């Protein structure tokens, strides 16, 4: 089994994160839930791992990747 992971880019982004299929829509209640669940971390400029997001929000890998991309955008924006 081969594990492919994103790598940190010099600008602080993670390659592979922008290739997540089916971006989370603006009206998705998962965005609200994620923003509430990870508010302290986002305020501190940190984003949890996909595994932690999966565990806390009880979602699968693809949704956790979408949420992580959204939380990354919140931290950067």
Give per-residue pLDDT as tens, 3-54: 565 555 566 554 444 444 444 455 788 988 998 999 999 989 999 899 999 9
Give per-residue pLDDT as tens, 48-67: 899 999 999 999 999 999 99
Domain boundaries, the chain: 26-76
Q: 3-state SS of the chain?
A: CCCCCCCECCCCCECCHHHCCCCCCCCCHHHHHHHHHCHHHHHCCCCCCHHHHHHHHCCCHHHHHHHHHHHHHHHHC
pTM, full prediction: 0.64
């Amino acid at each position: 089994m081969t594990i492919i992971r994103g790598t940190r880019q010099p600008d602080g982004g993670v390659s592979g994160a922008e290739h997540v299929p089916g971006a989370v829509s603006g009206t998705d209640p998962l965005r609200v839930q994620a923003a509430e669940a990870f508010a302290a971390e986002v305020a501190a400029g940190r984003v949890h791992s996909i595994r932690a997001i999966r565990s806390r929000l009880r979602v699968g890998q693809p949704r956790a990747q979408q949420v992580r991309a959204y939380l990354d955008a919140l931290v950067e924006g």
